[in-house]
Amino acid sequence: MKLGAFSVSLNVKDIKVSKAFYEKLGFKQFSGDVSMNYVIMKNQNTLIGLFQGMFTGNILTFNPGWDQAGKNLDSFDDVRDIQKELKKSKVSIAIQADESSTGPASFAISDPDGNSILIDQHR
């Protein structure tokens, strides 16, 4: 199963303060917009999303179809195929992707400790 690019999506209290903190750790803004309360920060192959007021808790995020630089992969496992495999393995899907659709879609699961995992395909 190819899950694609990995990042941690952090729920932050103040996007500007958090962005400045991660810049001190060598992260640079990769995408997003502070005025829209989210930025994606990158340090080498490590991606951290900072999100103010968009969700509760922190989320492990995987992006099928993208590499760690956000570039399209020639070959990848579609989000709907990943979801079907997890269902076969009896993993509970909290938010499901429409399996009759194509293109961008996402679904959400939780690990045994309640950590949220988002599988989010953008193409």
CATH number of residue 113's parent domain: 3.10.180.10
pTM for the full model?
Answer: 0.87
DSSP per-residue string spanning 38-103: EEEEEETTEEEEEEESS-SS-EEEEETTB-TTSPBPSS---HHHHHHHHHHTT---SB---TT--S
How many structural domains does the chain have?
1
Range of the domain at 39: 5-121
Structure tokens of 2? Answer: 């190819």
Whether the Cβ atoms of residue 19 and residue 34 lie closer than 8 Å to each other: yes
Note the pLDDT tens digit of each residue in 64-98. 999 988 899 999 999 999 999 999 999 999 999 99
Give the model confidence (pLDDT) of 21-58 as tens digits: 999 999 999 999 999 999 999 999 999 999 999 998 99
